[in-house]
Amino acid sequence: MDVLWLRAAVGEMLDLHFFRRRSVRMVRQIELAECGLACLAMVANYHGRGQALQDLRRRFPPSHRGTNIAKLMSIADQIGFLPRALKVPLDELRLLTFPAILHWNLKHFVVAERASSRGVMIHNPDGHSRWYSWNDLSLHFSGIALELRPSSEKQEPLPTANTLRIRELFSGMGGILSVIVQVLTMTLIIQIASIATPYFMQVALDNTISIQSVDFLLALAAGFGIISVVGVAAGWLRSFTILTASSQANLSIASNTVRKLFRLPISWFERRHLGDILSRFSSIQPIQQLILEKGIISIIDGIFSISVMILMFFYNTLMTLIALLAILTYVFTRIIFFRYAREAKQESIVSHGREQSFLIESIRGILSLRLFGAETKRFSAWQAKMVDALNGDIRTARIQNWESSLCSLIMALQDILIIFISVIMISRGDMTIGMTFAFIAYKQMFISRIFLLVDQYISFKMLGLHLDRLSDIVKGEEDWAFNGRSADRELKGGITVDNVSFRYSSGDNLVLRNISMEVFPGDHVALTGASGSGKSTLLKLIGGIEKPTQGSILIDGEPMEEFGIRSFHQQISVISQNDNLFSGTIASNIALFEEIMDIDRVHSVAQDAAIHDDIMAMPMKYDTQVSELGSTLSGGQKQRIILARALYRNPKILLIDEGTAHLDLVREMQVNQAIKRLGITRIIIAHRTETINSADRIYIMEDGSLICDN
C-alpha cells in the first residue's frame, strides 16, 4: 500500500458516517444490459439525489439489447437532471463537468469522476474503479460523453423499493426468540465465570502466599473450580443451542430465498448470469452467523465489558485510560479501512460469480468448443476471469493484513506501556503483584471483547452487501402468474389473441404489432415466417410467459388473468427451443419427477412420441440415466422425450416451438398422427413444409405482424 492510498483512505473515512467527502460511490450492474442505469445511479447519488438501482430498474426497465445515449438522456431528464451529450476529443475531456458518463468500448457506459494530469478516475459498473492513464483511456473511450447537471426544478421522488429486512429472511422459522433468550442466559453465566478467574489469581498471589495456608488455597481453588465448571457447561450448552439454531436458520433463509427464486419472471433469469445467481446464495451464511452466532455473543460481551472497565478503573485509572486510548486507535484504524475492505469483498464476490458463470457456460458448450478446436482459447479466457477473482481475494487479504498489522502494533505498544507503568507502581508499593496480574487479565478480557464488538459492528455494516445481493432475489417482483386467480378452472382449449402488441421494455421498439387471431378448441395451427419475425414471442404471450404491452389474450372467452394463469399453466404443455432434460432416469424425466409415477402412462406417451422402441432397446430401458444436458441421447431422442413429458400431463393445449425439427419425416408423421388422435389444441412454430401443411390453419408472420391467414 503506498502513501497516496493511505491518504485517500484517511480522507474518505469510508462511509461509516464519521466524516464526509463527496465522491462517486460504485453501483454495480446486476442485469446484463443495465450499465447505463447503474451510471445514472452513481451520478445521482453523487449529487445527493439518491436513486437506488432497483428503483430505476423498476421505473425504467432496461432493454435486453442495452441502452443508448438518447434513452439515458430521457431518463436523466425525468429524474431531475439537465443532460447534454457531447462529442469530446480526448485532449478536451478534462473540461467536462464531472462526474460524467462516458461511452466505453463502443458497447458500454462508465462514470468519469475526475481528471488530472495523470489520467481519469473511472468507475465501471461491472465492478471496477481505477485511474486510467490518458494512453490507456484512448483505447476505450469512444469519444461520446454525457454531462449531467442537476436541474432547479423539484422532481417527484421515485417510489422507493422496499429494503430487505433480516426478519424477512427468517420468516417461517419458529422459536427464534427462545433461542436468543437461551444464548443470552448462557453468555451471561460465561461472563460471570470469566470475571471470577482473575480475582482468584489475585487472591492466590497476594493472600495465600503470605499466610501460607494450603487449606485456604484448596478451598479457594475448589470454589473457583466450581465456577469454572459452570462456565464451561454454559459454553457447551450455548454452542449446542447455536449449532441447532444455525441449521434451522440456514434452512429457513435458503428455503425462503429459493422459493422466491422459483417465482420470479423468466425474463429475470434471461438478464443475469447463472454463476452470479448461484453466488448470491453464498451471502446466506454470513447473515446467519452474524445474527445467531457472533452478533448476540458480541453484544453481550460488549455490554458486560463495561463492568470489566469499571473494575479496571478501581485498580488503576492511568493504565485503564491507556487501554481506552488503544481501543480508540483500533476503532479509528478499522474506520479508515472499512470502505476499501467492503469494496474489495464485493469485487471478490462479483468476480467469482463471473468466473463461475463463464465455467458453467463453457461446460454446457463443450461440444461446440471441441468441434471448433477452441478449448485452449476458452481456457485462456476462463483463466483471465479466474485471475480477476483471485486478485479480488488478494486485495481483500492485503487490506486485512494491513489492518491486523497496524492493530497488532497498537496493542504491542499499549502492552509495553502498561507493563512499564505497572512495574513502577509495584516498586512504589501502589499495586501488588496479584493486583497487577488481575488488572492485565481484566485488560485483555476488556480489549478482546471490545475488539469483538467493533469487528461485529463492521461485519454488520458489511451485512448490507449481502442483503443487497439477496434483495435482488427476495424483493424481486414475482411473475404475473402468481398474482391472479388460483382457483382451478376447466380448460376447453379456445384461445383469442385480441389486437396484441408487445415490447420487452419501454425503450424498445414493438416486437409484435396489433396481432389478432382466433384458435378454436381442437384446432391445429401453424405459425411460420422468417427468423426474428416474432413467432416465439407470440407463443410466449399465448403461454402466459410474458404479458402483452397492449391488447389482451382470452382463454375460452375470458381474459387470461381472470381465468387464472396458474390454472391455465396446469392444463397446457409448452415445448420451447431451449427445453432441457434433468439428471435422472428417462422415466423420471417423462413424469417430471412425480412422487407417484404412473408408469403405464409413461409408456403410453412414450409411444405417442415415437420414443418407446428406442428406450426399450437401451440396456436399462426406462431406468436409463441421462445427464443434465441429455448427452447420452441423440438430438432427436432428446426432443421426443421432451415431447413425451409434455404429453404426460394430458394437456388441453400444446404449444410447440420447433419441437419436431430434429425428427425425420416418418417419425414426425407418427408423432402428428398420435397427437391428432388426442383431440387437443395445437399451436406449432415450424419452417419445414411438411410440418406446416399438416396444420388446419397457417399464419405467416413478418416483422411482428400477421400478414397472411390461410
Residue 30 has a CB neighbour count (10 Å cut-off) of 23
First CA to last CA across the chain, in angstroms? 73
User: Which residues, listed in sequence order, are joined to residue 550 by a DSSP beta bridge?
Assistant: 501
Among 284, 264, 269, CA closest to 349:
284
Residue 318 has a CB neighbour count (10 Å cut-off) of 10
Task: Give the residue carrying C-alpha cell 459452570.
Answer: 230
3 state SS of 632: coil
**Rounded Cα–Cα distance for residues 701 and 502 (Å):** 14
Among 332, 381, 377, CA closest to 355:
381
**Rounded Cα–Cα distance for residues 366 and 375 (Å):** 8
Please spell the DSSP secondary structure of 444-489, one letter per residue.
HHHHHHHHHHHHHHHHHHHHHHHHHHHHHHHTSPPPGGGTS--S--
List the catalytic residue out of 35, 39, 407, 708: 35
Decide if 271 contacts 31 (C-beta within 8 A).
yes
Among 536, 522, 492, CA closest to 697:
522
Residue 429 CB burial class (10 angstroms; 0-12, 13-18, ≥19)? exposed
Decide if 251 contacts 210 (C-beta within 8 A).
no
Decide if 91 contacts 197 (C-beta within 8 A).
no
Residue 708 known to be catalytic: no
Task: Fill in the DSSP letter of residue 595.
Answer: S
Residue 48 has a CB neighbour count (10 Å cut-off) of 8
Quick one: cell of 282? 453464498
**Rounded Cα–Cα distance for residues 387 and 352 (Å):** 10
Long-range contacts of 240-244 (CB under 8 A, 24+ apart): 241/179, 241/182, 241/183, 241/186, 242/183, 242/292, 242/293
Catalytic residues: 35
